[in-house]
Amino acid sequence: MGEKVDLPGGHWAEVRDPMDITVDEVRPLKEKLVELGRARKGASSPVGSVAASGSINPMAGFAAPPVEESPVGEQLDQIEGFEHAAMAFFIVSWDFDFAPSAETLRKLPIPVYNALDAAVAPYLGEVFPQFKKDDSPTTP
């Protein structure tokens, strides 16, 4: 199952255990990351068009909000889109009145969002080793 995480304001969330996640389930997130890379290089990439394999859909509820004609706004939407999809992938449930999804993460109070982001970060490092924090000493 998952781990219950205490959040500010007396809230909680249940986060998936990486041992319960299959490689197939992670593929949509990897595809989303590739989309982000292509979009940042100027290639066309429809946001949110990735369908998940299997019964779990980590992209459920993901829809990029309308963007003003601003390249910065578009870039932020793309980056946040991946970050929110990755966070939502790990959230099994929470005590809010709306279901956890990439889109509903925007509705969370900032302290709750930040705490949830910190709670999910180690799991993200398990699924995407390239995002794992490197605690090794650096050489001057």
Domain ranges of the chain: 2-131
Residue 105 in tokens: 């993460």
Per-residue pLDDT of the chain (140 residues; tens, 9 = 90+): 688 999 999 999 999 888 888 888 888 777 777 776 666 555 443 433 333 333 344 544 444 445 445 577 766 666 677 788 888 888 999 999 999 988 899 999 999 999 999 998 888 777 776 655 555 555 45
| pLDDT in the model for residue 93 | 93
| pLDDT in the model for residue 112 | 96
| pLDDT in the model for residue 94 | 95
Residue 71, H or E segment: helix 71-90
* Spatial CB neighbours of 19, under 8 Å, sequence gap ≥ 6: none
| pLDDT in the model for residue 62 | 46
| pLDDT in the model for residue 11 | 97
